[in-house]
Structure formats: structure tokens, C-alpha cells
């Protein structure tokens, strides 16, 4: 195969020949399976699980292909390939998802083997994006750059990728299995809503280790992950996870799809029993075979060595001049740019949430532009976030203004990261075969209503998250304001929850009252914001804190007063 | 009989699938032929729909033509048959948030962009 390897850039893991051969073999295997399906040798019933294992779903209008972006990090070369595929085989755009992946919505079954072949040329694939396996491991989109980072999550995410890919015991779990890792003080990976959430820490000797949270998840029965062990040393990292997966494989329910996730097992066994089972299994497993060799960790860490940062003063005169001269840029800086650990550098979030736009969608031209900008300003790599945005992690402060102007010209300059306009919305009934209601139009109406950047900053940190059905792909349970689409006798209604929190203080939102129509929903959100602004202390109290202090009553009163 | 003449007779059903090779939404038309436009879909009285559906499923699997085959309800709106649910209206037209895409962009649906 003709590989256009991502190049010796920082931050991207280099596949070796074993990885490449494996991916290539899978593509050829799938090509034959598609041929056999099209020729009638395989029935749909036989073919469907194979199709899903290769990331191909059937949606309302066509097939949907989900491409894995391992731990959300990719190279400019890879993004350009995604743009090329979107143009040639789809309709000129793609959708970045809360799983830090990319989905195309208009794929033909007969084209899929060719698409997978092209992806393999840049070390990409759709493996582990579907089915009851360990899914693509996610991590902090600021990994390797954040000032508050203690441990580099990519290293352990990559160890897990290698360890779980085709692991015979873990390809037929009771249900899908999602793992997230955060190695920074603030949790930007929503670890406690995953089947296993890992917080990487260092002990007083500076050695890395992990807190294990197990049994988090959203969907029909939302649960916050529970702390199963405070400290697992690096050498036991794989053994402990293997112990958890074994207990899950042994006791997890296979009779009822709604009760099959590990969150239900943890809930039904109780934390104490579950932990005891895991600890017993761990005690049995612990030994040379499962000990994570520090040399292996070091070899993988080499792949993620810091890029060649220049020695720069932390202060940038060019940046300060631009900040003073251009208020729109100053606003973007304040909202979308985060502190970097290297002096003179910064982390820039590229919002895929223009006011009135479709959250997470990017055109192929925009992808090409971001690839160019990643090459010019960020060592040729970029990240996908779980709030459906992109990140250039290593931008020189001197170059931020140039970057922003190019982004803004292409409709990518919105200053709303973390604000009310930064809405997560799943595809909903516009695309998804499982949906009860549309999600996107509501997101568009809300972001248009709150388009004014000054108003957004006045409101401050406030996440709105929308799902079109109880599967909760849009994370509505953990939205400060969550919206769930429901179907009432053929009409779309929306149920509003408040008080959700995706960070380390994870909380599942509470339902505020009866579901409302789409038009009412936009007004209701505005009413909630008004009540918050009228009640918040010191002009700075966060929405969730005001809500915790004043309770639901004033919000309910305002929204449902007319009833 | 085409959609237009039959829907007045009360609650009707149409039969739909996604085409196997590309996922395109298709409808069972007259004479057991599959069509891409809802305007050309055949409409069946409720009590006949089950039988037609079973036969269509068997044939589509044998001919490897369509997957996910089912019947959906059709109602009359302003004298024109339209799918009863938002879901089927969206399948028939395309995403309401991208009216430049799907059948609506090719003029393949009968009743304007009513899902929007
Ligand atoms: C369009 C096709 C999609 C289908 C058919 C689909 C299906 C599902 C289903 C059935 C679940 C619930 C699984 C369970 O709890 O066992 C789920 C959960 C989830 N999906 Fe999707 N989904 C789709 C698209 C997406 C998209 C576009 C995103 C990202 C925006 C997404 C992100 C998620 C997440 C984060 C969960 C997690 C909830 C959890 O961990 O409990 N999905 N999806
Ligand atoms: S939450 Fe429901 S409607 Fe939204 S993408 Fe997931 S399965 Fe589809």
C-alpha cells in the first residue's frame, strides 16, 4: 500500500508495519464481505454486524461512516484526506462528534471499501467505532499542551489502543465500552460519564498512577462513575483494567440490551461487591505477564515527545497590539484561547458553532483550511474535542492574530468556547434513524438568539446540550441546561433539564417540568438565562452555582407561569 | 395507482426501504417496482399493506435490492398525500437543516419542503 504517513510531527503516533498490515487486511476482508453481500451470498442479517464493526451504520438518508480519530488527535495530512473523501464520496462536509470522531452522512455501501482503503493510506480507519468492543479511547483535547497537565494521557490511550485492538476477550463484551483519560487538573474529557474514567496523577515521588472511576454513562439510565480505586500504579495500569473488563465479561448482562452496560452491573452489584470482585481478579492477574514495562511506556512516550518549541518570552508585543486594536479579536482571545505550558505559546479552540450553524459540521474547504493552519501554526497537528470543536494546541502568541483572521474569514472565528453558543447537538431526526425529534434546528435557533458576543460573555460559562432521543449522544444529562427531544403523538417536544455538569464535579441534570414545543423551548432557555442573571451573586456566580443556591422554583415559575 | 388518486380513500400506507448498494430511500411503486420519489409511491389500504409488505420484503432480499423494509402511514394534507410522521417526511425530502441535500434538492418529492 502506498502510505502517506503523517510525517515526523509531534503528537501523532506512528503506526508500525504490524498496525498497517492489520488495517490493510481488515480493509481487504471488508471489501470481500461487501462483495459477498452485494452478490447475495450474505444476507442482511449476516452482514449487518460486519458492517457495524467497520463503522458503517444505516441512517435515514444513506449509510453513515464513523471514522476513528484515536484520542482525538490527528495530523494535517489526515485532515486533508478526510476533506478529500468528503468531497469525493460524500456531500462536501463532515460532522465532528462528541466521541472525538468524524462522521460522514451520505456514504454508499459500494464505495466503502475504497474509502477505507484511502483512509488506511494515512493510517486511519473505522475500527472500534461500533459494536460491543472497547471503543476509541478519548482524552483531554489540550493534551501535551495544557499548563495544568500532570500526565500525558495520549501515552496511556495509545497503550490501550494497542492492547484492546483485536483482544480476543474484548471483542464480544456484553455491550460497548468507552474509556476516557484525563491527566490534567481540570477534567476536559468528561471522565466520569464513561464506562471507565481514568484520572492520571503523580504521587509524591513524581511517579504516574491512576484513579479509576467505573460505571459512568448516559443514555436511558444515566450514572456518574464511581471511584473504585484511588491509586493504581503505572505498572498495574493494564492489569487493573483487564480485571475490570473480566468482571464485566463474567457478570455483565447479555439478556437485556438496556441493562448490559457496566454502569448497570456496578449499580446492581453495589460498589463494594463490584470493587471486591475487581480486586480479587486483579490479585490473580498481577504478575509479570500484565506488568506494564516502563520501557514500553517510554517507547510510546517518545512518539509524543514535545514538538520543537522555540524559546520565547511569554509576553508578545504583537499580540498585545492586536488585542488593543481589534475588539473582536480581543473577545476571541479571552474566550477561545487557553494557557500553554511553553512560554510564548497558546492553545486555540476553533469553534464549529457559528451562530445559527450546525454544531460540529465542517465543510471540506474548512477542513483544508484548518489543515493548512495546523501546518503553519501548530506543528501540523490538531485535535477534536468532545464538545464538537477543533483545537490547535501549539500556536505562537505572536501568530494568534493571523490565525484568527484566517479562521474568521472562513466562518470559523466564533468566540464562544464554553459559552451558551457552544451547544452540543446530536444529529437528531434530521439524520438519525433512532431519533424521536430534531436536535439541530433547536441548537440553531438558540445560538442565533444568543448570537451577540457581549451578551454571551455576560452570561458566562453555560453549556447547553441537546439529544434527539434517550440514547443521549448529545450529552443532555450533563448540560448545565440539557434538552431531550421526545415524540408526543407525532409532534416533537423537548424536555428541559438543569444542573448537569460534565466536569469532575459531575452531576446529572434534573427535569424542570413538562416538555415544551420547539418555539417554546427557545423562549424557555431565554427565560432560564434571565432568571439566572437576575439572581446570580456578584455578577460572576456560575449558572450551576446560582441554580444550586436558589433551587428550581424561580425558573419553573417563570417558564410555566402561563400554564 | 399513484399516490394522488388513492390517499383520499382514508388511512393509507406506503412501503419504503433503503437501497442496499447506496442507502438511498426508495418506495414501492406500481407493479412492484421501486421508485426514488414519494410522488410515485403506491399507496395501500391498511388491511392490504401487511401482505404487500411481506411479499416486498421477500422479493427485495432475494433480489438484494433493499434493506430495512417497512410500511408507514400516509395522510392527506391540502389534498396531497404526505407521510404522517416527521420522520418519514424527513426521509422523503432530506434533512430540514440542509435543504440543499437529499431528494428535496433534486425535486424528487411531491409536496414541497413541508418537513421544514
Ligand atoms: C447517527 C447515528 C448514531 C447512532 C445510531 C447512535 C446510537 C447510539 C446509541 C444506541 C447509544 C446508546 C448506547 C448505550 O447506552 O448502550 C449511543 C450513545 C452515545 N452516542 Fe451515539 N449514535 C449515533 C450518533 C452519534 C453521534 C453523532 C455522536 C456524537 C455527537 C454520538 C455520541 C454518543 C455518545 C457520546 C454516547 C454515549 C452515551 C453513553 O456513553 O452512555 N453518537 N449512540
Ligand atoms: S441521541 Fe438519539 S437521536 Fe441523537 S444521535 Fe444519538 S441515537 Fe440519534
- Those residues whose C-beta lies under 8 Å from the C-beta of residue A113, and which sit 6 or more positions away, are A27, A30, A31, A34
Assess whether A334 and A474 both reside in one domain. no
Chain B contact for A440 (CB, 8 A cutoff): yes
Chain A residues whose CB is inside 8 A of the B61 CB are 43-44
Q: Note the pLDDT of residue A64.
A: 96
Residue A451: count of CB within 10 angstroms of its CB: 15
In a domain, A295, yes or no: yes
Coil/strand/helix, residue A406: helix
In a domain, B79, yes or no: yes
Assess whether A380 and A520 both reside in one domain. no
In a domain, B66, yes or no: yes
In a domain, A128, yes or no: no
CA A191–ligand 2 middle distance (angstroms): 20
The C-alpha atoms of residue A257 and residue A11 are separated, in whole angstroms, by 37
Q: Note the pLDDT of residue A129.
A: 60
Assess whether A244 and A165 both reside in one domain. yes
Which residues sit with their C-beta closer than 6 Å to ligand 2?
A 426-428, 432, 434-435, 467-469, 471-474
CA-based torsion, B42, B43, B46, B47: positive or negative: negative
- Does the distance separating the beta carbons of A106 and B86 come in below 8 Å? no
Q: Which of A98, A101, A427 to mutate to test the pocket of ligand 2 (most atoms within 8 A of CB)?
A: A427
Number of domains in chain A: 4
CATH number for A295: 3.30.413.10
- Residue position matching grid coordinates 433539564: A497
Q: Residue A451: which domain range? A: 424-560
The C-alpha atoms of residue A547 and residue A534 are separated, in whole angstroms, by 12
Q: Are A399 and A377 in contact (CB under 8 A)?
A: yes
Assess whether A371 and A289 both reside in one domain. no
Report the length, in residues, of chain B: 116
CB-CB: which of A60, A358, A437 is closest to B91?
A60
Interface confidence (ipTM) of the complex: 0.88
Assess whether A160 and A242 both reside in one domain. yes
Assess whether A497 and A550 both reside in one domain. yes
Residue A135: count of CB within 10 angstroms of its CB: 21
Of B111, B67, B68, residue with least CA distance to B90: B111
Q: Which residue has the least CA distance to atom 6 on ligand 2? A: A473
Of A198, A211, A87, A59, residue with least CA distance to A140: A198
- Does the distance separating the beta carbons of B21 and A108 come in below 8 Å? yes
Q: Are A124 and A67 in contact (CB under 8 A)?
A: yes
Return the DSSP state at A5.
-
- Does the distance separating the beta carbons of A429 and B87 come in below 8 Å? yes
In a domain, A471, yes or no: yes
CA–chain centroid gap for A160, Å, is 17
Which ligand 1 atom lies nearest to the CA of residue A426? 30
The average pLDDT across B38-43 equals 94
Q: Per residue of chain A (563 residues), give pLDDT as tens.
A: 334 344 444 466 667 777 788 888 889 999 999 999 999 899 999 999 889 888 899 999 999 999 988 888 999 999 999 999 999 999 999 999 877 789 999 999 999 999 999 999 998 877 666 667 777 788 999 999 999 999 999 999 988 888 877 677 777 787 888 899 998 888 888 899 899 999 999 999 999 999 999 988 898 889 999 999 999 999 999 999 999 989 988 887 777 787 888 898 889 989 999 999 999 999 998 888 888 889 989 988 988 889 999 999 999 999 999 999 999 999 999 999 999 999 999 999 999 999 999 999 999 999 999 999 999 999 999 999 988 999 999 999 999 999 999 999 999 999 999 999 999 999 999 999 999 999 999 999 999 999 999 999 999 999 999 999 999 999 999 999 999 999 998 889 999 999 999 988 889 999 999 999 999 999 999 999 999 999 999 888 999 999 999 999 999 999 887 55
Indicate if ligand 1 lies below 6 Å from the C-beta of A64.
yes
Give the residues across from A430 on adjacent strands: none
Which ligand 2 atom lies nearest to the CA of residue A435? 3
- Closest alpha carbon within chain A to B94: A61
Assess whether A219 and A95 both reside in one domain. no
- Closest alpha carbon within chain B to A430: B95
Of A534, A426, A513, residue with least CA distance to A470: A426
CA A368–ligand 2 middle distance (angstroms): 28
- Does the distance separating the beta carbons of A435 and B23 come in below 8 Å? no
CA A58–ligand 1 middle distance (angstroms): 14
Indicate if ligand 1 lies below 6 Å from the C-beta of A473.
yes
Assess whether A337 and A234 both reside in one domain. no
Q: Which residue has the least CA distance to atom 20 on ligand 1? A: A473
- Closest alpha carbon within chain A to B87: A429
How close does chain A come to B35, measured CA to CA in Å?
15
- Residue position matching grid coordinates 472511576: A213
How close does chain B come to A427, measured CA to CA in Å?
10
Q: Give the end-to-end CA distance of chain B in Å, rounded to a whole number.
A: 28
CA A492–ligand 1 middle distance (angstroms): 20
Q: Residue B95: which domain range? A: 3-106
- Those residues whose C-beta lies under 8 Å from the C-beta of residue B51, and which sit 6 or more positions away, are none
Assess whether A150 and A283 both reside in one domain. yes
How close does chain A come to B48, measured CA to CA in Å?
23
Mark which of A276, A302, A328 sits at the end of a domain.
A302
In a domain, B113, yes or no: no
CA A211–ligand 1 middle distance (angstroms): 26
Mutate which: A91, A429, A448, vs B, most B CBs within 10 A: A429
Assess whether A67 and A30 both reside in one domain. yes
Chain A contact for B61 (CB, 8 A cutoff): yes
Q: How far, in Å, are A121, A303, A306 from residue A16 at the CA level?
A: 13, 12, 20
Q: Are A140 and A103 in contact (CB under 8 A)?
A: no
Chain A residues whose CB is inside 8 A of the B68 CB are 58
Mark which of A273, A302, A331 sits at the end of a domain.
A302
Indicate if ligand 1 lies below 6 Å from the C-beta of A471.
yes
Output the pTM of the full model: 0.90
Coil/strand/helix, residue A200: strand
Q: Are B73 and B67 in contact (CB under 8 A)?
A: no
Number of domains in chain B: 1
Assess whether A115 and A156 both reside in one domain. no
- Closest alpha carbon within chain A to B26: A61
Indicate if ligand 1 lies below 6 Å from the C-beta of A336.
no
The C-alpha atoms of residue A393 and residue A142 are separated, in whole angstroms, by 6
Q: Note the pLDDT of residue A322.
A: 97
Chain A residues whose CB is inside 8 A of the B18 CB are 58, 62
Assess whether A162 and A290 both reside in one domain. yes
Q: Which residue has the least CA distance to atom 2 on ligand 1? A: A432
Strands, E assignment, A68-217: 73-75, 93-96, 102-107, 138-139, 179-182, 196-202, 208-214
Amino acid at each position: 500500500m502506498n502510505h502517506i504517513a503523517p510525517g515526523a510531527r509531534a503528537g501523532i503516533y506512528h503506526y508500525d508495519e504490524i498496525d498497517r498490515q492489520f488495517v490493510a487486511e481488515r480493509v481487504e476482508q471488508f471489501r470481500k464481505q461487501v462483495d459477498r453481500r452485494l452478490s447475495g451470498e450474505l444476507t442482511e442479517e449476516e452482514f449487518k454486524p460486519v458492517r457495524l464493526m467497520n463503522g458503517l451504520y444505516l441512517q435515514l438518508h444513506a449509510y453513515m461512516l464513523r471514522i476513528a480519530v484515536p484520542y482525538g488527535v490527528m495530523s494535517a495530512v489526515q485532515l486533508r484526506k478526510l476533506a478529500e473523501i468528503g468531497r469525493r464520496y460524500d456531500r462536501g462536509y463532515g460532522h465532528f462528534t462528541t466521541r472525538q470522531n468524524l462522521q460522514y452522512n451520505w456514504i454508499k455501501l459500494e464505495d466503502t471499501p475504497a474509502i477505507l482503503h484511502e483512509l488506511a493510506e494515512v493510517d486511519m480507519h473505522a475500527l472500534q467505532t461500533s459494536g460491543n468492543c472497547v471503543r476509541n479511547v478519548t482524552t483531554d483535547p489540550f493534551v501535551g499542551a495544557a499548563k495544568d497537565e500532570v500526565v500525558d494521557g495520549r501515552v496511556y490511550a495509545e497503550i490501550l489502543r494497542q492492547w484492546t485492538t483485536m483482544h480476543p476477550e474484548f471483542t464480544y463484551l456484553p455491550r460497548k465500552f468507552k474509556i476516557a483519560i484525563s491527566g490534567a487538573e481540570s477534567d476536559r474529557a468528561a471522565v466520569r460519564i464513561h464506562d471507565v474514567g481514568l484520572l492520571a496523577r503523580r504521587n509524591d515521588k513524581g511517579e504516574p498512577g491512576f484513579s479509576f472511576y467505573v460505571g459512568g454513562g448516559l443514555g436511558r439510565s444515566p450514572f456518574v462513575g464511581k471511584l473504585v480505586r484511588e491509586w493504581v500504579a503505572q505498572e498495574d495500569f493494564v492489569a487493573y483494567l483487564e480485571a475490570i473488563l473480566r468482571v464485566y465479561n463474567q457478570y455483565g448482562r447479555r439478556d437485556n440490551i438496556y441493562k448490559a452496560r457496566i454502569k448497570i452491573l456496578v449499580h446492581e452489584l453495589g460498589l463494594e461487591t463490584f470493587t471486591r470482585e475487581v480486586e480479587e481478579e486483579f490479585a490473580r492477574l498481577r504478575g509479570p505477564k500484565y506488568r506494564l514495562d516502563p520501557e514500553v511506556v517510554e517507547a510510546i512516550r517518545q512518539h509524543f515527545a514535545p514538538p520543537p518549541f522555540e524559546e520565547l518570552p511569554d509576553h508578545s508585543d504583537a499580540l498585545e497590539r492586536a488585542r488593543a486594536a481589534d475588539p473582536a479579536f480581543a473577545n476571541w482571545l479571552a474566550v477561545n484561547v487557553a494557557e500553554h505550558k511553553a512560554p510564548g505559546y497558546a492553545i486555540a479552540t476553533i469553534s464549529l458553532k457559528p451562530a445559527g450553524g450546525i454544531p460540529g459540521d465542517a465543510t471540506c474547504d474548512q477542513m483544508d483550511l484548518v489543515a493548512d493552519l495546523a501546518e503553519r501554526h501548530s506543528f501540523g497537528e490538531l485535535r477534536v474535542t468532545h464538545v464538537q470543536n477543533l483545537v490547535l494546541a501549539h500556536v505562537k502568541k505572536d501568530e494568534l492574530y493571523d490565525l484568527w483572521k484566517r479562521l474568521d474569514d472562513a466562518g470559523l472565528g466564533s468566540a464562544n468556547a464554553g459559552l451558551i453558543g457552544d451547544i452540543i447537538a446530536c444529529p437528531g431526526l434530521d439524520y438519525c434513524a433512532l431519533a424521536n425529534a430534531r436536535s439541530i434546528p433547536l441548537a440553531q435557533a438558540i445560538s442565533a438568539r444568543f448570537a451577540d458576543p457581549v451578551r454571551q460573555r455576560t452570561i458566562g460559562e453555560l453549556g447547553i446540550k441537546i439529544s434527539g432521543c434517550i440514547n443521549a449522544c448529545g450529552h443532555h444529562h450533563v448540560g448545565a441546561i440539557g434538552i431531550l427531544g421526545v415524540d408526543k403523538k407525532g409532534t416533537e417536544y423537548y424536555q428541559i433539564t438543569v444542573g448537569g455538569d460534565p466536569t469532575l464535579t459531575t452531576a446529572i441534570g434534573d427535569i424542570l417540568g413538562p416538555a415544551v414545543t420547539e418555539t417554546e423551548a427557545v423562549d424557555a432557555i431565554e427565560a432560564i438565562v434571565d432568571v439566572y442573571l437576575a439572581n446570580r451573586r456578584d455578577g460572576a456566580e456560575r449558572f450551576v452555582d446560582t441554580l444550586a443556591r436558589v433551587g428550581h422554583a424561580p425558573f419553573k415559575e417563570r417558564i410555566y407561569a402561563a400554564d | 395507482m399513484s399516490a394522488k388518486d388513492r390517499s383520499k380513500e382514508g388511512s393509507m400506507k406506503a412501503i419504503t426501504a433503503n437501497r442496499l448498494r447506496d442507502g438511498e430511500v426508495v418506495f414501492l411503486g406500481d407493479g412492484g417496482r421501486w421508485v426514488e420519489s414519494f410522488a410515485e409511491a403506491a399507496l395501500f389500504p391498511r388491511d392490504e399493506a401487511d401482505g404487500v409488505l411481506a411479499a416486498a420484503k421477500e422479493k427485495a432480499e432475494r433480489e438484494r435490492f433493499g434493506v430495512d423494509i417497512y410500511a408507514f402511514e400516509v395522510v392527506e394534507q391540502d389534498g396531497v398525500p404526505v407521510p404522517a410522521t416527521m420522520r418519514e417526511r424527513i426521509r422523503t425530502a432530506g434533512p430540514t437543516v440542509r435543504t440543499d441535500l437529499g431528494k428535496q434538492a433534486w425535486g424528487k418529492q411531491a409536496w414541497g419542503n413541508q418537513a421544514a
